Amino acid sequence: YVNAVALVCLAHAGAGERELMMDKQSFAEYGAHLWKSRERFDAFLEQIREDGLAVCPFDQDVSFRIAAPVFRQDRSLVGALGVSLPVSRVETGTSEAIRRELLESVSRIGAKI
C-alpha cells in the first residue's frame, strides 16, 4: 500500500485479481492506517491509471518513490519499473527528469515485448 511498483500493479490488475492480491495483504490491516478509507485508496489507483504512473504520496520528505507500468504491445500488464531515492539526492528539476525517463523507458521496454 506504499510501494510504488505494487500500487501500479494493483491499479492495472483486473478487479478480481486486485481483490485476491489485497486478500493476501489485508487493506484493513496494512493499508487503512495510511489511506484512511478504501474509497481514497481506490481513487488513487484510478489516478495512477489516468497518469500512467504512481508517485507514492507518503513520506515524500524522506523518499521519492515512483513507478510506471510495463505493457506488452497488446496492452496487457507484464510488470512495472520503479525508482526509489532519498529526497536528499533529488535535486530541483530531477524528479521531473526521472518521471520523463521512466515513462520513456517503460515505453521502450513494452515495444520490445
- CA 84/CA 1 separation, integer angstroms: 15
Mapped onto helix, strand or coil, the DSSP state of residue 57 is coil
Sign of CA dihedral 32, 35, 36, 41: negative
- CA 68/CA 48 separation, integer angstroms: 9
Strand partners, 84: 65
**Alpha carbon 47 to chain centroid, angstroms:** 10
Mean of all residue pLDDT scores within the chain: 94
**Residue-level pLDDT at 8:** 97
Helix (H) or strand (E) holding 71: strand 63-71
- Statement: residue 79 has pLDDT above 90: yes
Mapped onto helix, strand or coil, the DSSP state of residue 53 is coil
- Digit-coded pLDDT (tens) for 31-73: 999 999 999 999 999 999 999 999 999 999 999 999 999 999 8
- Statement: residue 93 has pLDDT above 90: no
**Residue-level pLDDT at 20:** 92
**Residue-level pLDDT at 92:** 83
